[in-house]
Amino acid sequence: MIKITFPDNSVREYQDGTTVYEVADSISSALARETLSATVNGELRDIRYPITTDATVNLHKFDDPQGRLAFWHTTSHVMAQAVKRLYPEIKLTIGPAIEQGFYYDFDAPESITPDMLEKIEAEMKKIISENPKIIMYTLPREEAIRKEEEAGEPYKVELINDLPEDAEISFYEQGEFFDLCAGPHIGRISAIKAFKLTSIAGAYWRGDEHNKMLTRIYGISYPKKEMLEEYLNMLEEAKKRDHRKLGKELDLYSIMDEGPGFPFFHPKGMIIRNELENFWRKEHTKRGYSEVRTPLILDAELWKRSGHWDHYKDNMYSTIIDGKEFCIKPMNCPGGMLLYNRKLTSYKDLPIRMAELGLVHRHEKSGALHGLMRVRNFTQDDAHIFMTDEQVTDEIIGVIDFIDYMYGIFGFEYMVELSTRPEDSMGTDEQWEMATNGLIQALNKKGLDYKVNEGDGAFYGPKIDFHLKDCLGRTWQCGTIQLDFQLPERFDLTYIGADNQKHRPIMLHRVIYGSIERFIGILTEQFAGAFPLWLAPVQVEVITVNEAFEDYAKQVAKDLEEKDIRVETDFRNEKLGYKIREAQLQKIPYMLVIGGSEVEANTVNVRSRKEGDLGEMDIDDVIVRLLKEISTKAF
């Protein structure tokens, strides 16, 4: 007999070899139907997985990310089966679940076009109605290779050859279709009640631009039709809010063909950016940070010393200066190390909080670029905090509180993840344990709910990641807190302690916006381009009914400008309705309309983007209203 412990700490006994499905069914048949995968002793497993030792088991439904992963991965196999039925000459590559849905990459002798998706969907419906049994099995390496060679699947053979010698080579089979796959998969294909193939894109085999271009088909699936309808409605809303579309329409920013991945900020976009940076500086000053600036290009030896060269050089740009290799910085941290080391530090000086709006460059593959969300140069709102052992928990809590305040200003909810030691890491087990426990202690002290993201820490230390949730329910990783024992050691950072001896400081890396460019993209979509007044590039549009009232309108605009309110004027000889509609399309928060009655009464007619027509108001009252809304950063 084996003992299984559930998340509520209850324990049950089962026969050795009982499967995950049987465990769920022993609790209730309804739970068994809804269970899509399980975490067994920290490992994600298929529902067919036999449990042979005492274990902790967490069963996953569609509500859980691990459950959705199995659901979407199974649907990718249904799609691949449909494609192979319709187009047998097409070669299979990979088909994983992703954050929203799934994709499968195909090597097709002829292009797969959007009009073919409907035909593939029809075949998928047929397969789902057939409900073929899903079978999982393993094969020895040579037999697995022979099986794929006989099927004419060269990409699968390549994948098998690249697996470690001792790797378990598993397959999933459904009807006539089989695929090399580690799983997990759901119990029944008929559980897929609704799906949609959403788009087609190109993708290089294994993400390498030197390899063949494949055809990638994206899709989404759900256990209920209404869930799919809700998702498709969200997609339509997301298209309207797309920051690339709005950036062009509102003349904020753009990506030029001459600089793929290198964003251009237009005058109006720079206003948003400057407001965010000014707010950032003001709040950091309040919290005892000093702003610094480190060089864009530094000697390659520095990056070797920091460890970035060994772990990150494929993403770095380099150049030769005076016969030596220099690198354009992908991170700000090594420059911060040099600044700390410029003078002797006492324990009385700690903590030292150095903040930097640092421009960094990273070589992203062209296929990964996406507007402002994924670029090749961006500004990190970095800070590096140097502290004693005793100060660690308080400093982490201080950063958590700071991040919470900043995100609250923009109305963002967020989720928290603790990312632990990756395989490719520096440092000792003891250092990693100490750093991880430091983060956990701070999270627990704050009472924050968080999930553990195993193996996704930075190469030099564990981290806390903050994932923003926008108005469409999408999440964006922005803020991060990283505890680092490695760089202080590599750069021999020290301070003089109370005992008059040298000690090693501990360092905290952190960002709040993350990337200013990306944060602006997120804000553009969050507000659908209708930025709150304090961020709006144009805060007020002064509009005349006709040219006769231009002199008074100019004085109104001047009064606003003297109070640092951003104003545009529209004195054109156009119909009033046309001018108002144009201002609305530009999402300007306030319009002040001036006609004969306003001139006579020394007032303006106020139209609010969110409240509509507010009627006639004295200009001084309007200014008081606007300044209050700006100063409070109201939505």
Distance between CA 250 and CA 225 in Å, rounded?
A: 36
The 3-state secondary structure of 580-613 reads: HHHHHHCCCCEEEEECHHHHHHCEEEEEECCCEE
CA distances from 576 to 434, 560, 591, 592 (A): 67, 21, 12, 12
State which amino acid sits at residue 120. I
Q: Of 66, 81, 380, 482, which residue is the catalytic one?
A: 380
Give residues with Cβ within 8 angstroms of 490, minimum separation 6.
305, 306, 307, 337
Distance between CA 161 and CA 177 in Å, rounded?
A: 21
478 is an active site residue = no
Tell me the three state secondary structure of residue 357. Answer: strand
Element (H, E) at 57: strand 55-60
Q: Which single residue is written with the structure tokens 């520095």?
A: 302
Give residues with Cβ within 8 angstroms of 5, minimum separation 6.
11, 54, 55, 56, 57
Q: How close are the terminal C-alpha atoms of the chain, in Å?
A: 60
Nearest to 354 by CA among 362, 364, 342: 342
Q: Of 60, 509, 579, 607, which residue is the catalytic one?
A: 509
Nearest to 328 by CA among 365, 296, 295: 296
Q: Of 68, 241, 308, 463, which residue is the catalytic one?
A: 463
273 is an active site residue = no
Tell me the three state secondary structure of residue 329. Answer: coil
Q: Of 46, 105, 381, 382, which residue is the catalytic one?
A: 382
Four-CA torsion 488, 491, 495, 501, nearest 10 degrees:
110
Q: Which two tokens stand for residue 512?
A: 């709040």
Q: Of 45, 333, 374, 465, which residue is the catalytic one?
A: 333
- Beta-carbon count within 10 A of 474 CB: 16
- DSSP secondary structure letters along 119-186: HHHHHHHHHHHH-PPEEEEEE-HHHHHHHHHHTT-HHHHHHHHHS-TT--EEEEEETTEEEE------
Q: Of 84, 156, 362, 579, which residue is the catalytic one?
A: 362
Query: DSSP code of 458?
Result: B
Distance between CA 456 and CA 425 in Å, rounded?
A: 10
Distance between CA 203 and CA 181 in Å, rounded?
A: 20
Distance between CA 477 and CA 305 in Å, rounded?
A: 28
HSE of 130, CA atoms in CB hemisphere, 13 A: 16
382 is an active site residue = yes
Give residues with Cβ within 8 angstroms of 386, minimum separation 6.
340, 345, 350, 351, 352, 354, 488, 493, 495, 505, 506, 507
Which residues sit opposite 616 in a β-bridge? 605
CB 456 within 8 A of CB 401: no
501 is an active site residue = no
363 is an active site residue = no
Q: Of 185, 243, 376, 384, which residue is the catalytic one?
A: 384
380 is an active site residue = yes
Work out whether strand 43-45 and strand 101-107 pair parallel, antiparallel, or are unpaired.
Answer: unpaired
362 is an active site residue = yes
Element (H, E) at 269: helix 267-286
State which amino acid sits at residue 171. F
Residues taking part in catalysis = 333, 362, 380, 382, 384, 463, 509
